[in-house]
């Protein structure tokens, strides 16, 4: 018989799907790194057809090809059913294949339910990741407060309870999520660590000289507080002739036309979202990174900016206080706060290059100690060990 200790644990990942396809480092490197300890398969359901079956290290990436479905609720429902059938058919029909030891689900709703069914039939262990602070809030932010949304929230909250009861481990991003999600009943099966960020991919160049670009990346417009950022920048830009504000994100231009009438957009550039390798260039060439969010999980962009050794400015919401220590690697301001405070902090960072450098280096140390890609693998290994025992 083969030695059971040398065998790698087989993992089944249920994932909604990488936005830009699996070949970009934010997705790919995670599985290349995990291949050192694990093997398995990744099932996703929103990819282009050319990515429907490829190898990523010791993982096989399988996707349900995205088709042009409408956005009406009925279409969405049919699409969901087909996705679920696709995953179940392929996972449960495995003649002569090895069984999965662990199932990891990206969120507790759709993929969580799928994971429960797979656990029921195959007896695999189930891990559920939770990446938001409140399901209700994120639903109402995206879809409004209609009756259908309320029904959806109610139904999913019932199922979420079942999923939490069934799963063997719950993985959350920060300590703050315990309270907002009411996880006190499942205290014994919670693991807390960050999401994977390919920190090794970024060069720690520090805040550059020359043109001082203030970078912002995020979506949507209001929740990330762009309406505070632009006036704050306008207050200080006369004092810093080399400064420049760069905004990256979906639908920014349309939102600016809607909300930003009469705003002074001089020296503000607005860009559509870019591929990861391009983001790396932009991130490395910026001077500091600002994220004046109103709601937030554990923002990956901040970890990426820290990996480039940039000073950060963020708000006290969600997991941001975990990442930014005020005065150590950046500045924290009040959420939904006034323009003047943000302007002051921007002024402080822009006018003192030594300070900016110091903040950036502290951030880089913080990333290397707590949030690097190697750390993620360590945490993940520990979590799998706990589940398997």
The residues, any chain, with a CB within 8 Å of residue 110's CB and separated by 6 or more, are: 80, 83, 84
Q: How far is the CB of 252 from another protein (least distance, A)?
A: 23
The residues, any chain, with a CB within 8 Å of residue 221's CB and separated by 6 or more, are: 227, 249, 251, 252, 255, 256, 259
- Is 187 a binding residue for another protein by CB under 8 A? The answer is no
Residues in the chain: 389
- Is 94 a binding residue for another protein by CB under 8 A? The answer is yes
Which CB atom, from 50 or from 185, has the smaller least distance to another protein?
50
- Is 96 a binding residue for another protein by CB under 8 A? The answer is yes
**CA distance linking residue 270 with residue 144, whole number of Å:** 26
Nearest to 62 by CA among 78, 79, 49: 49
Q: How far is the CB of 55 from another protein (least distance, A)?
A: 3
- Is 2 a binding residue for another protein by CB under 8 A? The answer is yes
Residue 179: phi and psi, rounded to 5, are: -70, -50
Residues 249-288 that bind another protein (CB under 8 A): 275, 277
- Is 210 a binding residue for another protein by CB under 8 A? The answer is no
Strand partners, 353: none
Interaction mask 116-145, another protein, x per CB under 8 A? ------------------------------
Q: Which stretch binds another protein (CB under 8 A): 85-93, 107-115, 162-170, 261-269?
A: 85-93
Q: How far is CA 133 from CA 101, 180, 209, 220, 270, in A?
A: 29, 6, 38, 16, 29
Which CB atom, from 1 or from 147, has the smaller least distance to another protein?
1
Q: Give the dihedral sign, CA 127/128/130/134.
A: negative
Which CB atom, from 55 or from 351, has the smaller least distance to another protein?
55
Q: Where does residue 17 fall: left (phi above 0), alpha (psi -120 to 50 degrees), or beta otherwise?
A: left
Which CB atom, from 2 or from 241, has the smaller least distance to another protein?
2
Which CB atom, from 279 or from 383, has the smaller least distance to another protein?
279
Residue of the chain from 19, 23, 161, 264 that contacts another protein (CB under 8 A) = 23
Residues 35-64 that bind another protein (CB under 8 A): 41, 49-50, 52-55, 57, 60-62
String of DSSP letters for 102-140: EEEESSTTHHHHHHHHHHHHH--EEEEEE-SS-HHHHHH
- Is 67 a binding residue for another protein by CB under 8 A? The answer is no
Residues lying near another protein in the complex (CB under 8 A): 1-2, 23, 32, 41, 49-50, 52-55, 57, 60-62, 86, 89-91, 93-98, 275, 277
């Amino acid at each position: 018989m083969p030695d059971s200790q040398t065998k790698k644990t087989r993992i089944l990942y249920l994932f909604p799907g990488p936005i830009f396809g699996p070949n970009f480092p934010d997705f790919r490197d995670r599985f290349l790194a995990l291949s050192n300890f694990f093997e398995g398969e990744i099932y996703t359901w929103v990819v282009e057809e050319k990515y429907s079956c490829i190898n990523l290290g010791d993982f096989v990436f399988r996707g349900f090809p995205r088709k042009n479905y409408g956005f009406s609720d009925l279409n969405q429902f049919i699409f969901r059913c087909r996705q679920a059938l696709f995953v179940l058919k392929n996972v449960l029909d495995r003649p002569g294949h090895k069984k999965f030891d662990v199932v990891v689900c990206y969120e507790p709703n759709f993929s969580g339910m799928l994971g429960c069914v797979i656990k029921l039939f195959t007896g695999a262990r189930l891990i559920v990741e939770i990446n938001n602070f409140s399901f209700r809030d994120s639903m109402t932010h995206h879809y409004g407060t209609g009756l259908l949304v309320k029904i959806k929230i109610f139904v999913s909250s019932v199922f979420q309870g079942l999923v939490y009861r069934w799963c063997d481990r719950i993985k959350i991003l920060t300590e703050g999520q315990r309270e907002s999600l009411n996880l006190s009943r499942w205290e014994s099966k919670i693991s807390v660590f960050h999401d994977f960020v390919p920190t090794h991919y970024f060069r720690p160049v520090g805040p550059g000289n020359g043109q001082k670009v203030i970078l912002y990346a995020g979506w949507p417009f209001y929740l990330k507080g762009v309406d505070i950022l632009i006036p704050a920048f306008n207050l200080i830009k006369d004092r810093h002739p080399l400064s420049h504000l760069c905004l990256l994100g979906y639908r920014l231009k349309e939102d600016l036309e809607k909300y930003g009438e009469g705003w002074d957009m001089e020296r503000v550039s607005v860009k559509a979202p870019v591929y990861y390798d391009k983001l790396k260039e932009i991130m490395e060439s910026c001077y500091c990174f600002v994220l004046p969010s109103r709601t937030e999980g554990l923002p990956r962009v901040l970890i990426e900016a820290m990996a480039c050794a940039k000073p950060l400015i963020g708000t006290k919401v969600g997991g941001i206080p975990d990442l930014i220590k005020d005065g150590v690697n950046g500045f924290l301001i009040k959420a939904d706060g006034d323009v003047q405070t943000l302007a002051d902090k921007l002024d402080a960072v822009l006018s003192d290059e030594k300070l900016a450098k110091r903040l950036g280096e502290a951030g880089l140390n913080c990333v290397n100690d707590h949030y690097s890609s190697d750390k993620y693998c360590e945490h993940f290994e520990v979590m799998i060990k706990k589940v398997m025992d």
